[in-house]
A = this chain, B = another copy of it.
Amino acid sequence: MNIETSLLVEIFRDITLPKEACNLIAEKFERISLKKGDTLLHANEIVHNQYYVCDGCLRTFFIDHSGKEHTLQFAIKDWWISDYTAFFTTSKAVMTIECIQDATVYKVSRTSMESLYDEIPQLETFFRKKMEKAFAAFQKRILSSLSFTARERYSSFINTYPFIEQSVKNYHIASYLGITTESLSRIRKEISQ
């Protein structure tokens, strides 16, 4: 068994899994330990897996044609992370997943997911609901990039994700907000006064 039942119960606490379901799931998960700075997924690799974050902090980022990094998302305890666009179609990653605080994650492949969906319909519902929340968060982010100033986006970020703010560098936050680290610094100064 690759993951303890107690952890599975925690991951899927929104649904009640029969014991056999737990066993089915357990054998599909694999534990990975990561050090700060490790790369869990490189851009251009085929994406076979998604990861459940047990502890630590990771981020997915995109490197544009000029070499600049843009953070799409952070993930801390109890979040799932992958390059989902590529994961859903088992195609090449456009993003990189980097560990920014020593982390423990559990890996599960798309193939495993599909077979688990077949065998445990509750699981498909579980992930559909996760998906709905992630979709809503992305919608909110798009609207916020359309209608908020950099300062408003920063305030909204630290209010929405106070725990993430503590785990990441300012330049990570800047690259998430779509501004430079210098601009973020000026915004922080303004707010503190």
Contacts and interface: CB of A to CB of B under 8 A. Distances in A.
Interface string A105-129: 0000000000001000100110110
A92 to B, nearest CB: 13
Contacts of A124: 121, 124-125, 128
Contacts of A139: 72, 84-85, 138
Interface in A151-193: 175, 178
For chain A, give the interface size range.
Answer: 20 to 34
A140 B72 CA distance: 10
Interface in A137-152: 138-143, 145-147
A132 B62 contact: no
Contacts of A147: 62, 64, 68, 70
A61 to B, nearest CB: 10
Interface string A63-95: 010001010100000000000110011000010
Contact of A85 (B88, B117, B136, B175): B136
